[in-house]
Structure 1
């Protein structure tokens, strides 16, 4: 089920808009200490981009939609040509829709570097072992979709042992598990058996291996 944030009147002060939308979970704060399901920097960047690059001739507002498995940040106005959503996943030129506003945000350090925002969002999601974000043009506007870490839905059919089920529960909470962490979960089981457990989960596509093998 989607939960839609209250609309903000676009005539309000720009800095109020950004701080209000970027701090929608804890009023007055843009940063928090505990672990989030999504990288906070990616949420903040997507919100600032939506406000900076929206079409201010449109009566529509920036929308933040929260679903069980994703967050969608939408703004009225499409990408300026020749940019396409595919271009945003690689190095690209910055083509501000609102140059004066974008320059102001750059000067006050709300925007760190020109033309790197979407690549930074991708990087932050990868660092948190999350699926790559989706950039798309939809309903006369542009949307950034941040997706939550997902465990495959067909686990019951995979015939997992109790140790592997314990590993899956750990993954649901922490989004990753190392050989050493699995050993700590099952201290009475030898390493070779645990290694085979993890390889079996990989072969069944319940988990994916990332990086080099470590103890």
Structure 2
């Protein structure tokens, strides 16, 4: 009896597999899996090329060449995004490349996508903190009050995630100064200096702010 049951089970499995094979389901699954792996590989390849181009853009002193390289880096980021739109790293690369070309608004929009729920899950906590800081830094290049408020929100979240970022605390102090929140600005500058005593911008800003409040 046990032998008959085993035989029947094997026969049933073979029958089911043959049916699936006739419907080309295993082949289609394999093709999709292989395509997904290939797309992921190609996306990473374009990301690496873009990162190398952006590094060269930042290193060159010739503005025209720098912009040209940054544009090429942005194009490579777009190719990576088209293959794997849920990878936040490619969106961040595009944001940095756009910033290098002077397109601050577009750079912020790319960071918005990188930090959206769908893509942010591909970032580590540290990477997310860095991305929030970068978005705030770009926002602060504008002078609108709404941008300052938004930058404060990003920076507060960033330092919660990564509390040893002196640059983030320094920029947070600058934001608070713009909002005339002097006590909060002093505290932020002091944190920046404690983390990095060589942060000249934070140290000088703290001295000036303390002198103005005496």
- TM bracket (short chain): under 0.3
Q: Hey, which of these two has a bigger chunk of strand by percent?
A: 1
- Which has the bigger relative contact order, CA under 8 A and spacing at least 6? 1
Q: Hey, which of these two has a bigger chunk of helix by percent?
A: 2
Q: TM-score, normalised by structure 2?
A: 0.25
Decide which structure has the larger Cα Rg and report it: 2
Q: TM-score, normalised by structure 1?
A: 0.25
